[in-house]
Amino acid sequence: MIGITYITEANRRAFLAKAAGKSHDSVQSSYDNIRDAQKVVDGVIEDIKTRGDEALFYYTEKWDKVRLDAKSAVLYPDGIAEIAKRLEPEKYGVIARAAKRIEKFHALQKQKSWFETGENGEILGQLVTPVESVGAYAPGGTAVLSSSLLMCVIPARVAGVKSVAVCTPADGNGEISPALAAAAHIAGVDIIYKFGGAQAIAALAYGTETVQKVDKVVGPGNLYVALAKKSVFGQVGIDSIAGPSEITVIADAAANPAYVAADMLSQAEHIMGSAICLTDSAELAAAVQLELERQIRTLPTGAAAAASLRDNGAIAVVPDIRAALALSNEIAPEHLELCVGEAFSFLPLVKNAGAVFLGPYTPEPVGDYYAGPNHILPTDGKARFFSPLCVDDFVKKTSVISFSEEALRQAAADVTAFAEMEKLSAHAEAVRIRL
């Protein structure tokens, strides 16, 4: 199912390429798939821009196999609340408790406007203002992700966004799940549109007769959703382009191999998920290999997990835990688990990761559902330069500058000199004319 690699300088580059899904065959296959999907997405976006609702409902019937119209495609708060009532009280309670923790964590991220005044009458500052409207995508096809809805909507509400819409595919009867409705009700969603795919992203970006266009689109989705978000960037803001789920588990000789294998499978069960174990113990590597084989036999999603491990899984033996962290920093995984003794002592060595899980009792799903930090994280190595979705994604920062006459006189020589150095004489004259 999955072999063991002993990392050396000679094979390090090849291992990293495989960990990133960059073997020649996989790159060519991915390129072909993406190229073909992009053609479809481009056509959908242009069609939505031209025909609006007509195109929106056409693609929804074609791909989601559900016929909708302007009335049946929309749910307002009262309708959302009615569907939410169908969810069993204990499940509703689970969502509500998770939402409370998510809100508490994200409230700590909120920034305020600030101003600094100089003695010469100079005032500099920064206004922090929320985005006016946001559209969140909540997957509802093979997996109905109520948790992702919470992770998108709650930070937006904490930031002060006035209008939050959610797009999610309806089932064959034109309904959405009570769990998704409960999450939307608890998070304070203003409107749910019961369609998904590239057509939903295009509608949010450009608007239709039924869909009010928004300022920013966030949330995970399949390849077509990701490509659509990429295509509409500039017309609207987006969070990031999410790829398949990833986990890298760093484990020492004392780690429990059953825990490590279970955590790898928690991401491998996602389609095209990546699951990597880095360890300084050959014995632990062999034990994890056996545990994967044992656990996958009884896993309901075992077929998907086996495919992910075959294509994107790896167990690697490295000289020591510091070497494992150096390798992980190059992988820049979405999720990084440190199943090692004194896990906190290694935290300063983590440079690139979407989220870090420390110690044997912090499995990745705790972060997915309950802990509070956002689970919409950078994938595909983007943790080198991207951050998790957060309150900052839903605000704008505006610089504020006010100079008194005295302040301008003090700065004039430097400002005009800089302008003349760049041969922009009108810039310099805009200062001189005031003096």
* The predicted structure's pLDDT at residue 27: 42
Lowest mean pLDDT among 23-37, 77-91, 321-335: 23-37
- Report how far residue 159's alpha carbon sits from residue 270's, in angstroms, rounded to the nearest whole number: 31
Which phi-psi region, left, alpha or beta, contains residue 281 (left: φ > 0; alpha: ψ -120 to 50)? Answer: beta
- Quick count: other Cβ atoms within 10 Å of Cβ 244? 18
The answer to whether residue 364 scores a pLDDT higher than 50 is: yes
Lowest mean pLDDT among 89-93, 104-108, 222-226, 282-286: 222-226
Check if the beta carbon of residue 139 is closer than 8 Å to that of residue 150: no
Torsions phi, psi for 208 (to 5 deg) = -140, -175
What percent of the chain lies above the pLDDT cut of 90? 91
Q: What is the CA radius of gyration of the chain?
A: 25
| pLDDT greater at residue 34 or residue 91 | 91
* The predicted structure's pLDDT at residue 19: 84
Band of pLDDT at residue 89, cut at 50, 70 and 90: very high
Band of pLDDT at residue 141, cut at 50, 70 and 90: low
The answer to whether residue 344 scores a pLDDT higher than 70 is: yes
* The predicted structure's pLDDT at residue 31: 56
* The predicted structure's pLDDT at residue 243: 85
Mean pLDDT estimate for the chain: 95
Q: Are strands 237-238 and 246-251 parallel, antiparallel or unpaired?
A: unpaired
Mean pLDDT along residues 21-33 = 55
The answer to whether residue 25 scores a pLDDT higher than 70 is: no
Of the candidates 334, 337, 364, 375, the residue annotated as catalytic is 334
3-class secondary structure, 211: coil
* The predicted structure's pLDDT at residue 215: 98
* The predicted structure's pLDDT at residue 34: 87
Band of pLDDT at residue 28, cut at 50, 70 and 90: very low
Mean pLDDT along residues 163-191 = 96
* The predicted structure's pLDDT at residue 33: 84
The answer to whether residue 23 scores a pLDDT higher than 80 is: no
Q: Known catalytic residue: 335?
A: yes
Q: Known catalytic residue: 375?
A: no
Band of pLDDT at residue 26, cut at 50, 70 and 90: very low
DSSP structure string for 129-175: EE-SEEEEE--BSSSB-HHHHHHHHHHHHHHT-SEEEEE----TTS-
Q: Measured between alpha carbons, how far is residue 311 from residues 178, 179, 262, 314 in Å?
A: 35, 32, 18, 9
- Quick count: other Cβ atoms within 10 Å of Cβ 349? 14
Of the candidates 106, 270, 335, 375, the residue annotated as catalytic is 335
The answer to whether residue 72 scores a pLDDT higher than 90 is: yes
The tens digit of pLDDT for each residue in 30-69 reads 657 889 999 999 999 999 999 999 999 999 999 999 999 9
Mean pLDDT along residues 74-98 = 98
Tell me whether residue 77 is exposed, middle or buried, using C-beta atoms within 10 angstroms of its C-beta: 0 to 12, 13 to 18, 19 or more: middle
Pair of tokens at residue 187: 């998070």
* The predicted structure's pLDDT at residue 30: 60
The tens digit of pLDDT for each residue in 399-431 reads 999 999 999 999 999 999 999 999 999 999 999
* The predicted structure's pLDDT at residue 22: 56
* The predicted structure's pLDDT at residue 140: 81
